[in-house]
A and B are shown apart, each in its own frame.
Chain A
């Protein structure tokens, strides 16, 4: 039987950022069929996947989950959380499930919980590689058997099917590891007979919560009503509004192509999508298509340890130094490298030394079109990555003291050019990871890499 209308609520764009309690209450009371929430992203870089640490704050995540669970349990509707703990690895999933269990116990809540593990054992992935099931995307980091085995952690990004399996198993609360943002919102509607074109496009709009509003004043909920022909998106918070332009803009937010959104199982094509005002704050979207892919693939994400970072921050305000900053920094590098070799017996190829110059090209690096200092000061970050935290921390005082007194021809005598805002100057920034995969895994069964565990709380 085809569902006539189905209302999806996104609690917020990221579980850790929050929403207004009254907005969620209103959204659920307004006939929601489920509440979804994305809890992660790779936008914060590879640290969380590599380290296994979740991004908190834990108390904030707990507050948000408490409100979502309370409202959904009262209404008798499912909750779907995707990319638990920010990176969706096993420790991130466990951290999130632990909070859910704690809430159930504290509040005497009872429900069937599904946890979907998306971490892929390195040996399993290496065997998939051996069988030719791993295909590269562009750009392609080198990913051979030894790279896989040396990396810290891999996850596969699930599509809608593992979530659907959890819902069909009777789970009311679904906590998923690494998961497509869109799949959080498309899984249940597709199960209920909503066309994939509608469900996936609605999922794309909902995945960032209130971000598809014209002015997102603060993180908050978003609602969409889906039917056979399209969906209507409307912020449940009366202070926010969606416009055809804000929703169209969100359709291409953080996508590589403005029209094509590649998902596991197929591609959403929005070339012929129409965005029409349904009111002064609601938008009707229709006309997208969904093109199933010939092969089912899931994206693989991996993180490998690169080293350990220590930094020091300095301001440079001397106009004569700023006028010759490039040669100044070049001289500085030469002296630091010699002193590190003398003091620590480390050659320059045994660590990396990076000068990040805010006020010149700190934001854009080599892509910066201006690429020179135009202001009266710059902020310099001396960034060292070495084989251990102790070595990185040892290089920093050598670098900062050298920088402080590096001479320029216009000044005689000892100069001190750097203004250090902190004491101590050096800051240990911890382990450094890199994303080591940009690949997909061809699957016969969309659920194969994803291990579901069910329990009655």
Chain B
């Protein structure tokens, strides 16, 4: 199974202020972006499950962004 980094230029985690953690994923191109999104691997449910949080919030622009609360 291909891994996420093979489709991206940047995967990073960064806090947004003291109370939130975000993940930014910047894709190599539009095609990579759409393939990964279509796979469902970055769905709100998947992210929420992986990080054991019920507040998964995934959105996208040039890339995708996910935010989770910092405990």
Which residues of A pack against B, CB within 8 Å?
Answer: 42-43, 45-46, 139, 245, 248-249, 251-259, 270-271, 275, 364-367, 369, 435, 438
**B62 x A249 contact (CB < 8 A):** yes
Distance (Å) between the CB of B29 and the closest chain A CB? 10
Which chain B residues border A248 with CB–CB below 8 Å?
Answer: 26, 61-63
Distance (Å) between the CB of B71 and the closest chain A CB? 6
4 closest cross-chain pairs (CB), A and B? A248-B62, A258-B65, A256-B16, A367-B51
Which chain B residues border A251 with CB–CB below 8 Å?
Answer: 61
CA distance A255 to B62 in the complex (A): 15
A252-B24, A366-B52 are known contacts. Are A258 and B71 too (CB-CB below 8 A)?
no
| Interface residue total, chain B, C-beta cutoff 8 A | 26
Q: From A259, which residue of chain B is reached at the shortest CB distance? A: B61
Say yes or no: is B18 at the interface (Cβ < 8 Å to chain A).
yes
Q: List 28 A-B contacts (CB under 8 A).
A: A42-B17, A139-B19, A139-B69, A245-B9, A245-B10, A248-B61, A248-B63, A249-B10, A249-B62, A252-B61, A253-B24, A254-B14, A256-B17, A256-B22, A257-B67, A258-B59, A258-B60, A258-B61, A258-B65, A270-B61, A366-B71, A367-B52, A367-B71, A369-B51, A369-B52, A435-B19, A438-B17, A438-B19
Which chain A residues border B61 with CB–CB below 8 Å?
Answer: 248, 251-252, 258-259, 270-271
**Majority SS at the chain A contact face:** loop
A367-B51, A367-B53 are known contacts. Are A435 and B26 too (CB-CB below 8 A)?
no
**A252 x B20 contact (CB < 8 A):** no
Which residues of B pack against A, CB within 8 Å?
Answer: 9-10, 14-20, 22, 24, 26, 50-53, 59-63, 65, 67-69, 71
CA distance A139 to B16 in the complex (A): 13
CA distance A369 to B50 in the complex (A): 6
Which chain B residues border A364 with CB–CB below 8 Å?
Answer: 51
CA distance A45 to B15 in the complex (A): 11
CA distance A446 to B59 in the complex (A): 32
Which chain A residues border B60 with CB–CB below 8 Å?
Answer: 258
Q: From B29, which residue of chain A is reached at the shortest CB distance? A: A245
The one of B16, B62, B71 in contact with A245, judged by C-beta atoms closer than 8 angstroms, is: B62
